[in-house]
């Protein structure tokens, strides 16, 4: 049997925060705590959770843009962080990321040609100028843009078109995995659907595997096969998207599915994460969701539940 395209094993990430007092120890914030999952080739894996729960941290590590504190990431069976820099860089063309903010992530001073060709330019095999431009133009067509757009600047495009440019840039090295971190969050709903449909068409055409990260449940429900729900750096529930949306088991998933979106949740939630989050010094064994959980009992304050299979879903809760 072929290994899963991506396998994440017991991933942990600690951030060292600024010291509160001159001689005090710097507090260590655990942004990811024992994350594990597998993504099958050709599937779409969703990661949902509130702002500050660790989604982008996880994305950066899976893309090998940042190192974990502990744990492993396997891509096609090879562990990324035990590869040599050279071997890792040779592998990079196989996984690309579409970033959160198409305004910030596209260099406003560069033309589309240079922006989309950038991932090609870091490959060991160099293309001729003509072939390079041809590849960019072909890829622009793939994402529903015009070949002549190579000579334009990002500001000449709408938000949806800019996101298409970002997708073209990810697609140009013909990756097998694309990680999309809040890729459509900045777009109007109708434009979101167009971009998501494009991504699903591309998936079918190229047998792409996606990791879709979003705080927006409707986006994840629309495009993914399997979804993991993260709360404060820990997967609290995972299952087939259809099952999980129909029958959420974890109290946090239930809250998420019932929640009315906040106007600007990101700032508040980041603060909540910091306040309630797990600090590795004096880390307690409590369930991370326990302070907000209506179903919490004594054991929830004492033992952090592990992720266990309940039917077809994985759930970390003492009361399921």
- Residue ranges that bind Mg ion, judged by CB under 5 A: 55-56
Instruction: Kindly give, in sequence order, each residue whose CB lies less than 8 Å from that of residue 92, ignoring residues fewer than 6 positions away.
Output: 64, 122
15 lies in the binding site for ligand ADP (CB under 6 A): yes
57 lies in the binding site for ligand ADP (CB under 6 A): yes
53 lies in the binding site for ligand ADP (CB under 6 A): yes
- Closest to 319 in 3D by CA, of 287, 291, 292: 287
Instruction: Pick the binder of ligand ADP from 44, 51, 290, 304 (CB under 6 A).
Output: 51
- Residue closer to ligand ADP by CB (options 105, 161) is 105
- Burial, 109: exposed, middle or buried (Cβ in 10 Å; 0-12, 13-18, 19+)? exposed
- Residue closer to Mg ion by CB (options 30, 55) is 55
Q: Which one of ligand ADP, Mg ion, none interacts with residue 31, CB within 5 to 8 A by kind?
A: ligand ADP
274 lies in the binding site for ligand ADP (CB under 6 A): yes
Q: Which one of Mg ion, ligand ADP, none interacts with residue 140, CB within 5 to 8 A by kind?
A: none
Q: Which one of ligand ADP, Mg ion, none interacts with residue 57, CB within 5 to 8 A by kind?
A: ligand ADP
Residue 53 Cβ vs ligand ADP, minimum distance, rounded to whole Å: 4
- Residue closer to Mg ion by CB (options 56, 253) is 56
Instruction: Pick the binder of ligand ADP from 5, 31, 39, 208 (CB under 6 A).
Output: 31
Tell me the chain's radius of gyration from C-alpha atoms: 20
- Rounded to whole angstroms, the Cα distance separating 25 from 5 reads 40
Residue 274 Cβ vs ligand ADP, minimum distance, rounded to whole Å: 6
In DSSP notation, 238-303 reads EEEHHHHHHS--SHHHHHHHHPPPPSSHHHHHHHHHHHHSPBSTT---S-TTGGG-TT--GGGGT-
| Piece of 51-59, 135-143, 145-153, 169-177 that binds ligand ADP (CB under 6 A) | 51-59
Question: What are the residues facing 115 on neighbouring strands?
Answer: none
- Evaluate whether 202 touches 167 at the Cβ level (below 8 Å): yes
52 lies in the binding site for ligand ADP (CB under 6 A): yes
Instruction: Kindly give, in sequence order, each residue whose CB lies less than 8 Å from that of residue 89, ignoring residues fewer than 6 positions away.
Output: 122
Query: Helices then strands (H, E): number in the chain?
Result: 11, 12
Cβ neighbours, 10 Å, residue 28: 16
Q: Which residues bind ligand ADP (CB under 6 A)?
A: 15, 29, 31, 49, 51-57, 270, 273-274
């Amino acid at each position: 049997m072929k290994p899963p395209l991506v396998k994440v094993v017991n991933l942990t990430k600690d951030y060292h925060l600024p010291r509160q007092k001159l001689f005090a120890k710097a507090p260590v914030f655990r942004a990811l705590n024992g994350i594990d999952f597998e993504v099958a080739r050709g599937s779409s894996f969703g990661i949902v959770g509130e702002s500050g729960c660790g989604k982008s941290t996880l994305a950066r590590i899976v893309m090998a843009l940042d190192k974990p504190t502990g744990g492993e990431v396997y891509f096609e069976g090879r562990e990324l962080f035990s590869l040599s820099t050279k071997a890792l860089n040779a592998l990079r063309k196989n996984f690309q990321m579409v970033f959160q903010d198409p305004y910030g992530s596209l260099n406003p001073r560069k033309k589309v040609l240079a922006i989309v060709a950038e991932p090609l330019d870091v490959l060991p095999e160099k293309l001729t100028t003509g072939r390079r431009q041809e590849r960019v133009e072909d890829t622009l067509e793939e994402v529903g843009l015009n070949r002549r757009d190579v000579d334009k600047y990002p500001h000449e495009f709408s938000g949806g078109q800019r996101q298409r440019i970002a997708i073209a840039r990810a697609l140009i090295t013909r990756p097998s995995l694309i990680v999309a971190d809040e890729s459509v969050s900045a777009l109007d709903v109708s434009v979101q659907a167009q971009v998501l449909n494009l991504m699903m068409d591309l998936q079918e055409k190229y047998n792409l595997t996606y990791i879709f990260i979003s705080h927006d449940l409707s986006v994840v429900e629309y495009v993914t096969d399997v979804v993991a729900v993260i709360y404060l750096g820990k997967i609290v529930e995972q299952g087939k998207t259809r099952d999980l949306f129909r029958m959420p088991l974890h109290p946090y998933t239930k809250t998420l599915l019932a929640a009315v979106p906040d106007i600007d949740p990101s700032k508040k939630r980041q603060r909540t994460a910091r306040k309630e989050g797990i600090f590795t010094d004096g880390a307690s064994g409590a369930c991370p969701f326990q302070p907000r959980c209506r179903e919490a009992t004594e054991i929830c304050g004492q033992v952090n539940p592990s992720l266990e299979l309940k039917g077809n879903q994985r759930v970390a809760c003492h009361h399921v």
